[in-house]
């Protein structure tokens, strides 16, 4: 690891501690030349295998970019997006694989997006799962009605929110 201050190519580790529930290691290093200290972080790389066969590192930003269009006009803020992307990464890492196919990322988005916003979920699912007819939407909506997501139940329990939605 090259020292960011003097470009010397050797440093020693003075401290090392796990972060983010053990999925990340932070190391405090000291340059053996200028003695200045800097921090590095180490995480296992989760590789996404694209349809072309090429791989690229998983990116939470790309997850957010991928769902943003489906979320247009919905009451979803940056924290919601960040949490969604975090949940997607956790779900993918929970499988314990170092590499996942791109379509698995899309699949991992469905559950947390549904929890977040059912309209955005329907929009996303219609594109992602290639809905081609009204019947496809009807089938999905029937499934949503049969097992409402947590966010929907919360809205039912909060009349103020429900009234707000009705006005829109
Ligand atoms: Zn240095």
pLDDT digits (tens, 9 = 90+) for 8-47: 999 999 999 998 777 789 999 999 999 999 999 988 889 9
Q: How far is the CA of 26 from the centre of ligand 1 (A)?
A: 19
Alpha helices (H) in 20-158, listed in sequence order = 60-68, 78-94, 102-116, 118-128, 134-146, 150-157
pLDDT digits (tens, 9 = 90+) for 63-108: 999 999 999 999 999 999 999 999 999 899 887 788 999 989 999 9
pLDDT digits (tens, 9 = 90+) for 114-128: 999 999 999 999 988
**Identity of the highest mean pLDDT range in 61-65, 139-143, 153-157:** 61-65
Asked if residues 122 and 137 have their Cβ atoms less than 8 Å apart, the reply is yes
Q: Which residues surround ligand 1, an ion (CB under 5 A)?
A: 3, 5-6, 8, 31, 33-34
Please give the pLDDT value at position 49: 95
Helix (H, G, I), strand (E, B) or coil at 58: coil
Instruction: Sort 75 into a burial class: Cβ within 10 Å, 0-12 / 13-18 / 19+.
Output: middle
């Amino acid at each position: 690891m090259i020292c960011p201050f003097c470009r010397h190519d050797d440093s020693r580790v003075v401290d090392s501690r796990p972060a983010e529930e053990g999925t990340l290691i932070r190391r405090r290093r000291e340059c053996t030349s200028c003695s200045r200290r800097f921090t590095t972080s180490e995480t296992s790389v989760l590789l996404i295998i694209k349809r072309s066969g090429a791989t690229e590192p998983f990116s939470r930003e790309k997850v957010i970019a991928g769902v943003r269009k489906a979320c247009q006009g919905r009451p979803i803020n940056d924290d919601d997006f960040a949490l969604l992307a975090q949940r997607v990464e956790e779900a993918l890492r929970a499988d314990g694989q170092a590499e996942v196919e791109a379509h698995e990322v899309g699949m991992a988005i469905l559950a947390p997006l549904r929890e977040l916003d059912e309209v955005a979920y329907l929009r996303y699912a219609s594109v992602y799962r290639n809905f081609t007819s009204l019947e496809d939407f009807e089938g999905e909506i029937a499934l949503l009605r049969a097992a409402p997501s947590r966010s929907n139940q919360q809205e039912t329990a909060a009349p103020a929110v429900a009234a707000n939605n009705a006005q829109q």
